[in-house]
Amino acid sequence: MLYLSTRGHAERKRFCEILLEGLAPDGGLYLPEHYPQVDDAALTRLRHTFNTQGYAALAFELLSLYIDDIPAADLKALCAKTYTQEVYGTEAIVPVRKLEDGLLVEALSNGPTLAFKDMAMQLLGNLFEYELARRGEELNIFGATSGDTGSAAEYAMRGKKGVRVFMTSPHGRMSPFQQAQMFSLMDENIHNIAIEGVFDDCQDLVKAVSNDLDFKTKYKIGTVNSINWARLLAQVVYYFAGYFQATTANSQKVSFTVPSGNFGNVCAGHVARMMGLPVDTLVAATNENDVLDEFFRTGVYRVRGSADTHETSSPSMDISKASNFERFVFDLLGRDAALTKDLFGAQISKNGKFDLSGNPHFAEAAARYGFASGKSTHANRLATIQDVHKRFGEMIDTHTADGVKVAREHLKAGVPMIVLETALPIKFAATIVEALGQEPHRPAKFEGIEALPKRVQVMKADVAQIKAYIAKHCDHA
């Protein structure tokens, strides 16, 4: 299996090369040359594997379709090491539960940091350690987080040999719990940098550093953001696991609603659907930062500036530049790399937007690729949290509430709708208290976390300053 850049770079690479690289040399994102196809017989075999051997075995089977430069026995061991009941607190790893008629919730938040990012990040940590040991190399991970990626990455990488993490986040814009999860880590290989700005400023810094090929090579810069294909690939697995739990036969279809800011989580659903998973509709649920909803409604992808990026009660989706969206648009346009490069390079830089409303491919977003979308506001969020608690006795977090609200608008008779739960309510306690007048359950291991000492560096959104900080901490190591 070889991987190509969405912007047309001539070079093709294998999995372990792009695992440590992040962005392609031309600023594009990596995708496989083709999506392996899962026919009815293969789907039956995968269903049996999941039902009899569990999530880790399913992960191995699916990852093997994309990874041929890690020996099978090693990859199997990495999956078995990653997806355990000890780490996720449940044998099912991603249990699916019924919320109401036609609407199910897939729990992706049972990992160490109580957010869906753990599902991929725990595997990524083990893959990095394995490959770096095999090469005798080190890696400096430079990332950006709007809330959950950072803590998931840091908990997955802390103490890992050969890995340092430099994680940027928007200063003061994450929930107190999210900040405490990250900033209370004292491991020497973890560096937290709070950027004076919004998440998109952090993401721009990551892309700027990744595009400086000399610096990237000298300091061995890699990424754990969802621009890393390995992370997105790991997320494909739970779409299959959700499908198998919601159906009994391959003739049945399901739909998924995915709270979405950076388009990574729902992009994994797109990959699963392209492989042949019987998915009817993929619904992207946004908050007030509705860049993706606007595109699927109008064909216009319009990036907002920092001043127009709203600070909301579902902060992990306070994003106006959806990094992974380029992967889907590349597929949507028939894998036209030159046009993709023009849209995400020249047109975004010049106009801050592009318009596909007149492009015949735009209609295929819904018709051929199954995409739909919707938007949820703070008032919707509160109402959904209140409704779910009152009717079902369940607390859901703010992002999952966005998903439930939008999912209810896209239900089809006879097609189960699975909402991907993105985090546990404790991560956004203030809004839960606002909605319900009571504190959400807090796992014992996180008691008093907000009061712990914090280790964080506040900086301006300045590329030169960031590079100097990384260089200093690598050169002195």
405 an active-site residue? no
Structural contact between residues 419 and 409, judged by C-beta atoms closer than 8 angstroms: no
Residue type, 425: P
Q: What does the alpha-carbon distance between residue 110 and residue 96 come to, in Å, rounded to a whole number? A: 12
Question: Which residues, in sequence order, are bridge partners of residue 136?
Answer: none
Residue type, 2: L
Structural contact between residues 260 and 317, judged by C-beta atoms closer than 8 angstroms: yes
Q: What does the alpha-carbon distance between residue 391 and residue 312 come to, in Å, rounded to a whole number? A: 25
Catalytic residue among 117, 207, 216, 253: 117
Kind plus residue range of the DSSP H or E element containing 470: helix 463-475
What per-residue string of b and e applies to 21-49 under the rule 16 or more CB within 10 Å gives b?
bbbbbbbbbbbbeebeebeeebbeebbeb
Handedness of CA 366, 295, 322, 213 (dihedral sign): positive
Structural contact between residues 370 and 410, judged by C-beta atoms closer than 8 angstroms: no
Q: What does the alpha-carbon distance between residue 205 and residue 466 come to, in Å, rounded to a whole number? A: 8
Structural contact between residues 143 and 167, judged by C-beta atoms closer than 8 angstroms: yes
- Closest of 337, 329, 317, 336 to residue 354, by C-alpha: 329
Kind plus residue range of the DSSP H or E element containing 43: helix 40-53
3-state secondary structure of 329: helix
Q: Known catalytic residues?
A: 117
